[in-house]
Structure 1
């Protein structure tokens, strides 16, 4: 039951309750109707039998009978007997009914005849010649019950249709009632998919709990959107403010290192500062780029690029850096692969992925780089046999400033993979990572081919 949607549960509940109510009502109705039918049959018998006295006269020394006694009104058979001789004087009786049934004045009796049951009522009348006649009324209970059973069969036939209509009405009512909830869910899912906090539910005016919930969501989204915009603006402002002083410090370090007035210890100190400031400058540069991307101000300069050549250039550039850590770089690049991309961003993508592989590689290890075309897709991959990433950390590596183990590498800013993910998605591509601790990591980027 818990696996069913709320709409399905409401429909089942509504249908079940309605079926129960209809069953109880029909049971009571048929029970009362059965009693009422028999009561009406008995009343019709008494009334018709009593009215028969008006159709019997005594004239010219003999009994005369009106032909109305032969009419079958309300299913009542009328017959007239001489009480003393029990002779049938006039009228009609049902086929198969006994003629010699003893008289019983004023009581309605139930008599079985063949496969049917009848109500029988006898009423006596004293004529002018002192002759006592008995008017007997007979009505079939079985025929009345047969009509009732026919009605019951019709009701049972219509019952599934009633259940179906009840389920349909329940579905429509549930759908209408849960429409605001569905709209809230779709809006939140769209926000998650598109990363667009400017969207709102906007159910309109209403005073019930769901409309209140939707308005609360809208207020919350407004607050979150405002906070995110302030954070992005703050990040952009801070990065801009830090860019100038870091550039000045970096230039001063470079000038000091180019001169000859530093002793060996001083040169080492300045080199440490230069290395740290270079790392900070790179981080600020990436932070500015991401900030502009968040604000929609970073435009891509798309052009037709040779992905194969970009891959070869990246391998050539970083082979020397990897060699300093005794890491071998091997390339498997298919020639002549073209696609539309921003060259500056693609170079940065290669740089971030290869720096990451070198940073977390092992001395004596390997890095495998490949670029190949599969149908209408370009597949780029960087694989290493380094320390790998734990399964619990793998989903978070794309988060900004996230570091699996900051103590192992203080030079990492935690922005490289975030930048790589944005670059790939900005080119309508996909990036993924698979890793096993102690065995290495593979990053794969897929782009649409030219």
Structure 2
């Protein structure tokens, strides 16, 4: 039952309940009908026997019988006996035991072979000294046969009735649960599209499903307002932090330009400058993502030589990788054209390459590739570094997500969101920005990794056909 849908469960429950009710009603009806049939047979028997009195006359010292006694009216056999048990007139069923004694006014059952009869004896005196016994006999078996035919017909029709009940129950349940399916589809669409502005919108209604939909819409409205406030707060904070960071960087430049600074002081100022510069880049990325969330980030789409952009990004990162003893190998196909934003596509490569350099193995190698097929352009960056654990891999696209083991220099898991060029720190925004850039270009990206053996990021975006 756990694997069945609610619609199927309700249909089964409805069918079982209806079937039980139908069987119970039929059992009661047939029980009452059987009694009614037997009572009706006895009434017919009494009417026929008492009616036979009118067909017996006493004329000129002898009995005169009407031929109507010989007719099987209502299936009743009528026979007239004297008080000694001798048959005077009438008709009896074939094979009926005539030795049965007489009991005035009593309806009795008598079975002869496979046939069962009702027998009624009633005394009648056409004259003062003439006493007769009129016996009526009617077959119970014949009367019950029609009942059994009806019962068999009902048993034949019962499966059809059950099937009809199941079909009607299914359509009724499906119609009743249609709003639930609409709620589920809408919630799934909201999750996939990440569009909190959508609503279920079932309309007016008083039942539980409509109230549930209204509650969902109200909850979505609150979540949307909360997300808007959070995005606005992030944007405002990023704006406010840029000014003091700019001042810090300017003061660091001014201090480093002075003569007479000791080596220790100059080194400390350089550390401050490097950290402030890293923080400034992180805030720039955060501000860009915040504007993208609010739909305010301007994206300029144009036809670009993606091969050239990729080679430029590789050349820029080659020196940074070499400083860590990492070799950068490229396999970039020529003349690949795409429609995209030049700045964002360069940032895409730089973020992926910087991530690989930061968590690559010293003395190791980074592979960068780009090629095209019929409709898509495929690019990848692969390193042989510390890798990402299976537990952390689903979360690498989340902003500020930091794998616990990556926070230490001796960790075995890759920090998954680093776009900073400061190898000793990470902003946790790099891969979030990569994912957003890919979505803007209507592409897909996936990551595969194995701890201790490195990671591979592969993206696909639509290509632009050469004119």
User: Do both proteins adopt the same fold according to a TM-score greater than 0.5, normalized to the shorter chain?
Assistant: yes
Confirm or deny: 8 A CA contact 1:327 1:361 kept in the other structure.
Answer: yes
- Pairs within 5 Å for 1:231-310: 231-254=230-253, 257=256, 262=261, 264-310=263-309
1:438 equivalent in structure 2 = 452
In structure 2, the CA distance between the partners of 1:153 and 1:54, relative to structure 1 (3 Å rule), is same
1:322 CA displacement: 0.2
1:387 equivalent in structure 2 = 386
- Specify every segment of 5 or more residues in structure 2 that has no aligned partner in the other structure, as ranges: 410-422
Q: What CA RMSD, in Å, does the superposition of the two structures yield over aligned residues? A: 2.5
1:324 CA displacement: 0.2
- Partners of 2:281 and 2:376 in 1: CA distance: 31
Tell me whether 46-55 or 390-399 shows the greater mean CA deviation.
Answer: 46-55
1:189 CA displacement: 1.6
1:28 equivalent in structure 2 = 28
In structure 2, the CA distance between the partners of 1:410 and 1:225, relative to structure 1 (3 Å rule), is farther
- Partners of 1:441 and 1:375 in 2: CA distance: 27
- Partners of 1:46 and 1:353 in 2: CA distance: 105
1:372 equivalent in structure 2 = 371
User: Per-residue displacement from partner, 1:172-216 (whole Å, max 9, x unpaired)?
Assistant: 443344344333323322221111112223333444444443333
TM-score normalised by length of structure 2? 0.88
Q: Stretches of 4+ moved more than 6 A in 1?
A: none
Tell me whether 55-64 or 376-385 shows the greater mean CA deviation.
Answer: 55-64
- Partners of 1:446 and 1:65 in 2: CA distance: 111
User: Per-residue displacement from partner, 1:84-132 (whole Å, max 9, x unpaired)?
Assistant: 4623423x44444456655443222222233211112222212238443
Confirm or deny: 8 A CA contact 1:82 1:89 kept in the other structure.
Answer: no
2:418 equivalent in structure 1 = none
In structure 2, the CA distance between the partners of 1:78 and 1:295, relative to structure 1 (3 Å rule), is same
1:141 CA displacement: 0.9
2:135 aligned with 1:136, yes or no?
A: yes
Confirm or deny: 8 A CA contact 1:307 1:371 kept in the other structure.
Answer: no
Confirm or deny: 8 A CA contact 1:80 1:136 kept in the other structure.
Answer: yes
SS in 2 for 1:288: helix
- Partners of 1:68 and 1:429 in 2: CA distance: 101
- Partners of 2:83 and 2:322 in 1: CA distance: 134
1:77 equivalent in structure 2 = 77
Confirm or deny: 8 A CA contact 1:84 1:132 kept in the other structure.
Answer: no
2:49 equivalent in structure 1 = 49
1:356 equivalent in structure 2 = 355
- Partners of 2:69 and 2:24 in 1: CA distance: 43
Tell me whether 423-432 or 268-277 shows the greater mean CA deviation.
Answer: 268-277
User: Per-residue displacement from partner, 1:212-262 (whole Å, max 9, x unpaired)?
Assistant: 433332222222111110010111111122223333443454465567665
2:312 equivalent in structure 1 = 313
Confirm or deny: 8 A CA contact 2:65 2:89 kept in the other structure.
Answer: no
2:223 equivalent in structure 1 = 224
- Partners of 2:178 and 2:424 in 1: CA distance: 52
User: Per-residue displacement from partner, 1:9-38 (whole Å, max 9, x unpaired)?
Assistant: 222222222222332332333233223322
In structure 2, the CA distance between the partners of 1:129 and 1:317, relative to structure 1 (3 Å rule), is same
- Partners of 2:32 and 2:131 in 1: CA distance: 39
- Partners of 1:438 and 1:356 in 2: CA distance: 16
- Partners of 2:182 and 2:35 in 1: CA distance: 53
- Partners of 1:86 and 1:265 in 2: CA distance: 147
In structure 2, the CA distance between the partners of 1:375 and 1:93, relative to structure 1 (3 Å rule), is farther
- Pairs within 5 Å for 1:133-172: 133-172=132-171
In structure 2, the CA distance between the partners of 1:215 and 1:237, relative to structure 1 (3 Å rule), is same
1:357 CA displacement: 0.5
1:286 CA displacement: 1.0
- Partners of 2:117 and 2:85 in 1: CA distance: 24
SS in 2 for 1:74: helix
In structure 2, the CA distance between the partners of 1:64 and 1:258, relative to structure 1 (3 Å rule), is farther
1:185 equivalent in structure 2 = 184
Confirm or deny: 8 A CA contact 2:79 2:87 kept in the other structure.
Answer: no
